[in-house]
Chain A
């Protein structure tokens, strides 16, 4: 029994990391249809900021996460103002927002990634933080993975609560369903839109900060995370915070079980099999309404 517990727990924790990577993009793409394909690059920026603060100033990475969130939130407002505001205003339909923002996102991806190469070089970077194993009911986990998992769950629950039970959450959902209608009932979309976008980048940055404790970082690290994020939010249902968490956890557990019973090499096959099966049964994702 202890063995199964450990196997599932290990899958859940990796799944938590997948969910963590996806939360920010879920706000931007899921709720606003801004296909920010440079999501992973901003995650990378968060990772580098945290690494810099820890390595050169000795700052505790966990304590530094609010700073990362603020910095990326500010960057988000700026990026929105420069790149996405016009798209959101001039596109007559959400499908067009998707298509146009995708192109802008590609540009941003190259810009941010190459800027990181110029500033920090191509070398692998990393540091050790909370790498000590912690024993929980006979199973051993490292603190940094537990922190990433904990944050993913907490942030997801927080978003679920905000979107469902607060006025702001309602306004965000209304803005998604009908931008013009939202304005008619007095929702200030000119403020709300950039703020939600900024929150998406802030979450990407925090995810990057947490991941920098677990994995090594390079300027090229972002792209695979963008792919993971896209799979997770599509699996969970666009815009659903609960779906994002469930989708990530499901992938993690399937991979862990698959690794035990078959071989890690089949993990992609298994993840995509689950992905296809879910989309066949529920084309809009697990938690879509």
Chain B
């Protein structure tokens, strides 16, 4: 053996030794999920939910990895398109948990999709913290692995009732979308308004995908209610706003549900949104943490998050991260840690009771200028409310 050859072997050994720590580094934590990238759910899912997953994984990896009980491990997202189909959601989660055996899962988008995977997460024992699932019916299933971090309908509607009561609103007209979401919100609203003595003088339902609501709005305008409340989904939220303006129906309070918190709502309708109220949680003015979250989101995705459920999606990841740091990846222990712990998040302290986030209060937000200001409850408010609503612009 020549000296040169020997030297070659030596350096090869040295090289291998140098590589050893890298080879011995632990495998990444695999986190699986299915979410809508195409189809009718995609607009919501790609605004509110998946951008947060991607940003979180990036931030965690940039900081050296996920803290698993003191040891840093990289995160690998295993995400699939569910094509806005409940059966694809179920099939994908079955595969992720049953055969791929990912370490953790993240929830799909929307009440229906979460409802569909609830039996599976219980079967395989994966905790799931859902930022876009609302409804007593989900919590009523008493699934120990399911956690709802978004405010539930009754909580949001109570806040609205308190806000209106404080401004001596006596009558309201309500329309709601004929879906589980609309029904749940309406049930909450009816109870809250009854308690506060606000009369509902008109109530109508409409189907998803409606292209015209003007006849209904004209009928309601003729009854002249103090408040108008549309428990609506995004396309109809835009529709009722544009059509109320079209017929100059300008009640003292104008409230629409999902979609008002979207930046595109302001960008499409422009100054017309001034004074419109809706479902929200926070805005960049709420806290330094909220500001940091908004800035990071814009830097990463070049678009603003919405002002309601996006922050809850981020908070859910923060809860998961803190729980994993404490108890590691043992999913039973993780579930118990989430169920019993208290967590610091972008939406404030979060604590769960029977699967429900019981610390985040119901919020009423209102567009003023270019910001969706929090106007209720008073201790969370970022601006005083515009009441009565100014005329349509």
Contact = CB atoms under 8 A, between A and B. Distances in A.
A202 to B, nearest CB: 23
A21 to B, nearest CB: 10
A51 to B, nearest CB: 10
Nearest to A214: B242
B264 A216 contact: yes
A80 interface: no
A265 B179 CA distance: 11
Contact of B46 (A121, A127, A267): A121
A268 B208 CA distance: 10
A224 B47 CA distance: 22
Given A117-B38, A122-B38, A264-B207, 12 more contacts: A121-B46, A122-B36, A122-B37, A124-B234, A215-B235, A252-B212, A260-B215, A263-B204, A264-B205, A265-B178, A265-B207, A267-B207
Contacts of B270: 128
Contacts, number: 115
Contacts of B245: 131, 133
Interface residues of A, number: 41
B271 to A, nearest CB: 9
B209 A224 contact: yes
Given A264-B205, A264-B206, A265-B207, A10 B38 contact: no
Nearest to B212: A14
B219 A122 contact: no
B246 A215 contact: no
B206 A142 contact: no
A7 interface: yes
Contacts of B36: 122
Given A218-B42, A264-B204, A128 B211 contact: no
Interface in B240-271: 242, 245-248, 262, 264, 267-270
B218 interface: yes
Contacts of A10: 212, 214-215, 218
A142 B268 CA distance: 15
Contacts of B268: 126-128, 216
A189 interface: no
A133 B38 CA distance: 34
B292 interface: no
B264 A126 contact: yes
Contact of A142 (B45, B47, B242, B262): B242
A142 B264 contact: no
B39 A220 contact: yes
B211 A215 contact: yes
A268 to B, nearest CB: 6
